[in-house]
Amino acid sequence: MDGKDPDPGGVPVSGLFVVLEGGEGAGKSTQIALLSGWLEALGVDHLVTREPGGTAVGEAIRSVVLGRTDLDMPPETELFLILGARAAFVRDVVRPAMAAGRVVLADRFALSTMAYQGYGRGLDLHEVRKAVAFATGGLEPDLYVVLDVPVEEGRSRQSHAGMSADRIESAGDGFMAKVREGYLALAEVEPNVRVLEARGTPEEVHRRIRDCLIREFPNRFPADAGGV
Protein backbone atom coordinates (compact mmCIF):
# COMPACT_ATOMS: atom_id res chain seq x y z
CA MET A 1 0.00 0.00 0.00
CA ASP A 2 2.84 2.39 0.75
CA GLY A 3 3.71 3.38 -2.80
CA LYS A 4 5.57 6.46 -1.54
CA ASP A 5 9.14 5.33 -1.58
CA PRO A 6 11.73 7.68 -0.20
CA ASP A 7 13.64 9.69 -2.77
CA PRO A 8 17.40 9.10 -3.05
CA GLY A 9 17.92 11.56 -0.19
CA GLY A 10 15.67 9.46 2.06
CA VAL A 11 12.91 12.08 2.22
CA PRO A 12 9.37 10.84 1.54
CA VAL A 13 8.17 12.35 -1.73
CA SER A 14 4.60 12.99 -0.65
CA GLY A 15 2.35 12.95 2.36
CA LEU A 16 0.42 10.21 4.04
CA PHE A 17 -3.28 10.41 4.88
CA VAL A 18 -4.40 8.22 7.78
CA VAL A 19 -7.93 8.31 9.16
CA LEU A 20 -9.27 6.88 12.42
CA GLU A 21 -12.87 5.75 12.26
CA GLY A 22 -15.40 4.06 14.50
CA GLY A 23 -18.68 4.46 16.32
CA GLU A 24 -19.46 6.57 19.33
CA GLY A 25 -16.91 6.22 22.16
CA ALA A 26 -14.53 4.09 20.09
CA GLY A 27 -11.60 6.13 21.41
CA LYS A 28 -10.55 7.96 18.24
CA SER A 29 -9.66 11.25 19.93
CA THR A 30 -7.71 9.43 22.61
CA GLN A 31 -5.81 7.40 20.01
CA ILE A 32 -5.11 10.37 17.75
CA ALA A 33 -3.50 12.16 20.71
CA LEU A 34 -1.34 9.09 21.45
CA LEU A 35 -0.39 8.71 17.77
CA SER A 36 0.49 12.37 17.56
CA GLY A 37 2.82 11.95 20.55
CA TRP A 38 4.44 8.94 18.87
CA LEU A 39 4.96 10.84 15.59
CA GLU A 40 6.33 13.79 17.53
CA ALA A 41 8.86 11.51 19.22
CA LEU A 42 9.84 10.12 15.80
CA GLY A 43 10.26 13.66 14.47
CA VAL A 44 7.53 13.12 11.84
CA ASP A 45 5.91 16.33 10.61
CA HIS A 46 2.18 15.78 10.94
CA LEU A 47 -1.19 17.48 11.18
CA VAL A 48 -4.07 16.44 13.44
CA THR A 49 -7.54 17.32 12.22
CA ARG A 50 -11.16 16.23 12.33
CA GLU A 51 -14.37 15.98 10.35
CA PRO A 52 -16.83 17.48 10.02
CA GLY A 53 -14.69 20.54 10.66
CA GLY A 54 -11.04 21.32 10.20
CA THR A 55 -11.78 24.62 8.37
CA ALA A 56 -13.74 27.73 9.36
CA VAL A 57 -16.63 26.85 7.04
CA GLY A 58 -16.43 23.19 8.15
CA GLU A 59 -16.68 24.13 11.83
CA ALA A 60 -19.67 26.36 11.05
CA ILE A 61 -21.39 23.46 9.25
CA ARG A 62 -20.47 21.14 12.15
CA SER A 63 -22.28 23.39 14.61
CA VAL A 64 -25.46 22.94 12.55
CA VAL A 65 -25.21 19.28 11.62
CA LEU A 66 -24.19 18.08 15.12
CA GLY A 67 -25.17 20.92 17.42
CA ARG A 68 -28.70 21.75 16.27
CA THR A 69 -30.53 18.91 18.04
CA ASP A 70 -33.73 20.97 17.62
CA LEU A 71 -33.69 20.62 13.81
CA ASP A 72 -35.56 17.90 11.95
CA MET A 73 -33.28 17.23 8.99
CA PRO A 74 -33.81 14.87 6.05
CA PRO A 75 -30.90 12.42 5.66
CA GLU A 76 -30.12 13.99 2.28
CA THR A 77 -29.70 17.40 3.94
CA GLU A 78 -27.39 15.87 6.54
CA LEU A 79 -25.38 14.20 3.76
CA PHE A 80 -24.91 17.36 1.71
CA LEU A 81 -24.04 19.51 4.73
CA ILE A 82 -21.32 17.03 5.67
CA LEU A 83 -20.08 16.88 2.08
CA GLY A 84 -20.09 20.68 1.88
CA ALA A 85 -17.69 20.72 4.82
CA ARG A 86 -15.64 17.95 3.23
CA ALA A 87 -14.98 19.80 -0.02
CA ALA A 88 -13.35 22.63 1.96
CA PHE A 89 -11.50 20.13 4.16
CA VAL A 90 -9.96 18.41 1.13
CA ARG A 91 -9.04 21.62 -0.69
CA ASP A 92 -7.78 23.66 2.27
CA VAL A 93 -6.42 21.08 4.72
CA VAL A 94 -5.64 17.68 3.26
CA ARG A 95 -4.26 18.51 -0.19
CA PRO A 96 -1.87 21.27 0.98
CA ALA A 97 -0.55 19.09 3.83
CA MET A 98 -0.08 16.14 1.49
CA ALA A 99 1.70 18.33 -1.04
CA ALA A 100 4.04 19.46 1.74
CA GLY A 101 4.87 15.82 2.52
CA ARG A 102 3.16 15.83 5.93
CA VAL A 103 1.34 13.01 7.63
CA VAL A 104 -2.35 13.91 8.03
CA LEU A 105 -4.05 12.21 10.99
CA ALA A 106 -7.79 12.72 10.70
CA ASP A 107 -10.61 11.90 13.08
CA ARG A 108 -13.15 10.61 10.50
CA PHE A 109 -13.47 11.07 6.71
CA ALA A 110 -15.53 9.52 3.91
CA LEU A 111 -15.89 6.08 5.50
CA SER A 112 -18.00 7.78 8.19
CA THR A 113 -20.35 9.02 5.47
CA MET A 114 -20.76 5.52 4.04
CA ALA A 115 -21.31 4.05 7.53
CA TYR A 116 -23.55 6.78 9.01
CA GLN A 117 -25.48 8.24 6.09
CA GLY A 118 -25.41 5.04 4.02
CA TYR A 119 -25.81 2.14 6.45
CA GLY A 120 -27.12 4.17 9.41
CA ARG A 121 -29.60 6.51 7.71
CA GLY A 122 -30.36 4.08 4.90
CA LEU A 123 -29.39 6.28 1.94
CA ASP A 124 -28.52 4.41 -1.25
CA LEU A 125 -24.86 3.38 -0.94
CA HIS A 126 -24.09 3.83 -4.61
CA GLU A 127 -25.48 7.39 -4.58
CA VAL A 128 -23.63 8.24 -1.36
CA ARG A 129 -20.38 6.96 -2.85
CA LYS A 130 -20.86 9.09 -5.98
CA ALA A 131 -21.67 12.20 -3.93
CA VAL A 132 -18.61 11.62 -1.72
CA ALA A 133 -16.36 11.30 -4.78
CA PHE A 134 -17.74 14.58 -6.14
CA ALA A 135 -16.97 16.37 -2.86
CA THR A 136 -13.46 14.94 -2.50
CA GLY A 137 -12.46 15.03 -6.17
CA GLY A 138 -11.71 11.34 -5.71
CA LEU A 139 -9.14 11.79 -2.93
CA GLU A 140 -8.83 8.59 -0.88
CA PRO A 141 -6.93 8.13 2.37
CA ASP A 142 -3.91 5.86 2.32
CA LEU A 143 -5.42 4.02 5.26
CA TYR A 144 -8.56 3.91 7.37
CA VAL A 145 -8.22 2.34 10.81
CA VAL A 146 -11.64 1.41 12.18
CA LEU A 147 -11.65 1.13 15.97
CA ASP A 148 -14.25 -1.50 16.66
CA VAL A 149 -16.07 -1.56 19.98
CA PRO A 150 -19.50 -2.99 20.89
CA VAL A 151 -22.17 -0.29 20.82
CA GLU A 152 -23.01 -0.64 24.53
CA GLU A 153 -19.37 -0.27 25.54
CA GLY A 154 -18.93 2.85 23.41
CA ARG A 155 -22.09 4.34 24.86
CA SER A 156 -21.01 3.52 28.42
CA ARG A 157 -17.60 5.16 27.87
CA GLN A 158 -19.37 8.30 26.69
CA SER A 159 -21.76 8.43 29.61
CA HIS A 160 -18.98 7.80 32.14
CA ALA A 161 -17.19 10.77 30.64
CA GLY A 162 -20.40 12.83 31.03
CA MET A 163 -20.43 13.59 27.28
CA SER A 164 -23.84 14.56 25.90
CA ALA A 165 -25.12 13.03 22.64
CA ASP A 166 -24.88 15.17 19.50
CA ARG A 167 -27.73 15.33 16.93
CA ILE A 168 -26.53 12.19 15.14
CA GLU A 169 -25.68 10.17 18.27
CA SER A 170 -29.19 10.94 19.53
CA ALA A 171 -30.48 8.48 16.90
CA GLY A 172 -29.88 5.74 19.49
CA ASP A 173 -28.35 2.27 19.81
CA GLY A 174 -30.27 0.67 16.89
CA PHE A 175 -28.79 3.30 14.58
CA MET A 176 -25.30 2.82 16.05
CA ALA A 177 -25.60 -0.96 15.55
CA LYS A 178 -26.30 -0.39 11.84
CA VAL A 179 -23.30 1.94 11.67
CA ARG A 180 -21.06 -0.70 13.24
CA GLU A 181 -22.32 -3.36 10.81
CA GLY A 182 -21.66 -0.87 8.01
CA TYR A 183 -18.04 -0.39 9.02
CA LEU A 184 -17.48 -4.15 9.18
CA ALA A 185 -19.13 -4.68 5.79
CA LEU A 186 -17.12 -1.87 4.20
CA ALA A 187 -13.89 -3.35 5.58
CA GLU A 188 -14.67 -6.54 3.65
CA VAL A 189 -14.69 -4.74 0.31
CA GLU A 190 -12.50 -1.64 0.63
CA PRO A 191 -8.79 -2.31 0.16
CA ASN A 192 -7.62 0.56 2.39
CA VAL A 193 -9.64 -0.31 5.52
CA ARG A 194 -8.33 -2.22 8.56
CA VAL A 195 -10.45 -3.06 11.60
CA LEU A 196 -8.77 -3.17 15.00
CA GLU A 197 -10.15 -4.31 18.34
CA ALA A 198 -10.72 -1.16 20.41
CA ARG A 199 -11.33 -2.86 23.76
CA GLY A 200 -8.48 -2.91 26.25
CA THR A 201 -6.54 -0.06 27.77
CA PRO A 202 -5.78 3.02 25.64
CA GLU A 203 -2.10 1.97 25.64
CA GLU A 204 -2.96 -1.52 24.34
CA VAL A 205 -5.08 -0.05 21.54
CA HIS A 206 -2.33 2.46 20.72
CA ARG A 207 0.18 -0.37 20.32
CA ARG A 208 -2.20 -2.18 17.92
CA ILE A 209 -2.53 0.95 15.78
CA ARG A 210 1.22 1.60 15.77
CA ASP A 211 1.90 -2.00 14.75
CA CYS A 212 -0.65 -1.64 11.96
CA LEU A 213 0.98 1.55 10.63
CA ILE A 214 4.44 -0.02 10.74
CA ARG A 215 3.14 -3.06 8.83
CA GLU A 216 1.33 -0.99 6.22
CA PHE A 217 3.98 1.68 5.67
CA PRO A 218 7.37 0.09 6.23
CA ASN A 219 9.11 2.80 4.22
CA ARG A 220 7.64 5.49 6.39
CA PHE A 221 7.84 3.89 9.82
CA PRO A 222 10.81 1.62 10.52
CA ALA A 223 10.15 -1.68 12.32
CA ASP A 224 12.05 -0.43 15.37
CA ALA A 225 9.81 2.65 15.66
CA GLY A 226 8.28 1.40 18.86
CA GLY A 227 5.80 -1.12 17.47
CA VAL A 228 5.68 -4.76 16.32
Site residues for ligand Z5A per CB under 6 A = 22, 24-30, 50-52, 66, 82, 108, 112-113, 116-117, 157-158, 161, 163, 166, 168-169, 200-202, 205
- Beta carbon of residue 36, minimum distance to ligand Z5A (angstroms, whole number): 13
Q: Which is nearer to ligand Z5A, 36 or 158 (CB)?
A: 158
Q: Which is nearer to ligand Z5A, 12 or 128 (CB)?
A: 128
Q: Rounded to whole angstroms, what are the CA distances from 201 to 27, 159, 188, 197?
A: 10, 18, 26, 11
Q: Rounded to whole angstroms, what are the CA distances from 204 to 5, 61, 83, 136?
A: 29, 35, 34, 33
- Beta carbon of residue 104, minimum distance to ligand Z5A (angstroms, whole number): 14
End-to-end CA gap in the chain: 18
- Beta carbon of residue 111, minimum distance to ligand Z5A (angstroms, whole number): 8
CA 93, CA 73: separation in Å to the nearest integer? 27
User: Which residue from 16, 17, 1, 39 is spatially nearest to 206, judged by alpha carbons?
Assistant: 39
- Beta carbon of residue 131, minimum distance to ligand Z5A (angstroms, whole number): 11
Q: Which is nearer to ligand Z5A, 85 or 213 (CB)?
A: 85
For residue 163, the 8-state DSSP code is P
* Beta-carbon count within 10 A of 216 CB: 18
Q: Which is nearer to ligand Z5A, 82 or 90 (CB)?
A: 82
What is the layout of strands, in order, in the sheet containing 143-148?
A: 46-50, 103-107, 16-22, 143-148, 193-197
Q: Which is nearer to ligand Z5A, 50 or 194 (CB)?
A: 50
- Beta carbon of residue 45, minimum distance to ligand Z5A (angstroms, whole number): 23
